[in-house]
Structure 1
Amino acid sequence: MAMNDAGNQMAETLAQLKDIHLPDPVGWWPMAFSWWVLLFSLSALLFALVWFLLDRHKRQAYRREALQRFNELQNNREFTPQQQILQINALLKQVAITAYGRQSVASLNEQAWLKFLYDTAKYIPQPDNLAHILATGYQTTDKLDQRQVEQQLELWRGYAKQWIKGHHL
């Protein structure tokens, strides 16, 4: 019977127990200080990224305009190949003056101009006969092989387009 009394007493004790009530979940508001810091940092980073991209877009506007003008020159069939060589050279001068300033670019000609083009975009392979290509623009047409002039113009176009896209400030 002692065993039975112990069992009854245990059953009564167990019956007095109440279910465990879980506390309410922790709310997300108000946020902890570290979350505010993280939120502010991400907002500042996003703002800085947008600012950088807009500023870069604005600073690169002259390149987009030059490439548009380049495409117009390339598609214009009114110019002879020699005139196109000279027109593209003039466009490159305009781009260089815009990017580097009139003082450092306007007086450049011949070898100094070619060296400037090379120095501002060293990773772009410069054709070996670039000086000859530019000189072709000033020669009379009866002394030139038109097929060779067309090949030179294509080389010049390729280099000029790459330079406009890739010169560095």
Structure 2
Amino acid sequence: NNLKGEIDVGALPTDIRQCDLSYNSFTSQIHLDKLPTQIEEFSISSNTLSGKLDLTSLPESLRKLNLSHNSFCGSVDLTSLPRTMLILSLHGNQLSGSLDLTRLPDCMKEMYLDNNEFFGETDFRWLPKSLFLFDISKTRLTGEIIEEKGSAKMFTLNDSVHRRSD
């Protein structure tokens, strides 16, 4: 595809459930609070979108969100994600600041935060038990991930893969 210009997600059909606008040439900022209330999967990776991301007013139905490989910048608030969110992909942007991972959705399975400018001491104790893939490589986050007995998870930290198991 080679769709160009600004994107107005508020113009999407109100009953749309899945939308993939990846690998285009969309520019400008994106107002995720205007996503249709019924949407379950939204991907707009590999465009040239920029500006700050507001993840605090996403539709409660949203389960998968892929905003990777754009030029988003600034900090992100991960404390108000939809309770049904399974996959969040923010990798390959210019996001920065510290992260509060203490109120992620209980059902979260995959999080890709790698290749950003995140930094600082991070409390990893409250990662959801359901989280299976967690990539924070190529960031400057610090902290300790406690191994949990009986788990078999794959986390990518500092460009190397660590398996957690009992």
Using structure 2 for the length normalisation, give the TM-score. Answer: 0.21
Give the number of the structure whose residues are more often helix, by fraction.
1
Give the number of the structure whose residues are more often strand, by fraction.
2
Structure whose alpha-carbon radius of gyration is higher: 1
Using structure 1 for the length normalisation, give the TM-score. Answer: 0.20
